[in-house]
Amino acid sequence: MRLDMRGKLCPLPVIELARHITDVEVGASITVVADDPAAATDIAAWCRMRDHELVSTTDESDATAYEVRRRH
């Protein structure tokens, strides 16, 4: 699953991630694409607090893609 959150300011990318994490199976990933620099800190902190895994952070041409694996 891929959530395109370009143009959305934090906390909206994290809110949508939290809303959709249960849409994928345990062990599967969601990719959040965001252009708000605060998303880097917010998504990493959310993963730590909710015990999910931030698998990768990839720079794209106009945003950053955060791959989050559901752990439970």
What are the boundaries of each domain within the chain? 2-69
Q: Given 4, 10, 11, 44, which residue is catalytic?
A: 10
d(CA 62, CA 34): 9
The model's pLDDT over 15-44, given as tens digits with 9 standing for 90+, comes to: 999 999 999 999 999 999 999 999 999 999
Q: Can 10 be counted among the known catalytic residues?
A: yes
CATH for 2-69, among 3.30.110.40, 1.10.443.10, 3.40.1190.20, 3.40.630.30? 3.30.110.40
Rounded to a whole number of angstroms, the CA Rg of the chain reads: 11
DSSP element (H, E) containing 46:
helix 38-50
pTM (2 d.p.)? 0.96
Query: CA neighbours within 13 Å on the CB side: how many for 16?
Result: 18
Per-residue pLDDT tens digits for 44-71: 999 999 999 999 999 999 999 999 999 9
Amino acid sitting at position 49: M
